[in-house]
Structure 1
Amino acid sequence: MRAGYRVLGHFDIASEGMETYYRPLAAGLEALESDLAGSHVLKDLRREIAMFVAGYGQFGCEMFVLERV
């Protein structure tokens, strides 16, 4: 509650759930490569995908449901 929010709930997203996000993202980037060539967005997303692949199963994602107080 220190930041003005109260945590109502939270859950983690398993590796399989993250995979359903990153695989289509990687495929979509290939299709947009010519439009995004040289952009920071393309570079950052590629780095994020590479980190996911390199660390598969070693990290996860936690989602929080918050309420402003």
Structure 2
Amino acid sequence: MKSLVIAAGKLAARPVRWLEGSRPDGGRSGHKRMYSRFVALRVRPAGREIRKAGRHGLPVRWLLAE
């Protein structure tokens, strides 16, 4: 999975900010604004066992990585 995220590149990462957190601050909300960058990729799980279980394998899913 790590290789998929690296292959997507830095431009695929989107910043996400939120206000709630465990770091108190003197701001209006009482908490620091926290943020991180996330990559969201559509993937289809694969493997020998999955192919044996069904004709088409598992459906496409979202992979979220920070």
For this structure pair, what is the TM-score category when the shorter chain's length is used for normalisation?
under 0.3
For the pair shown, which has the larger CA radius of gyration, 1 or 2?
2
Q: Which has the higher strand share?
A: 2
With structure 1 as the length reference, what TM-score do the two structures score? 0.25
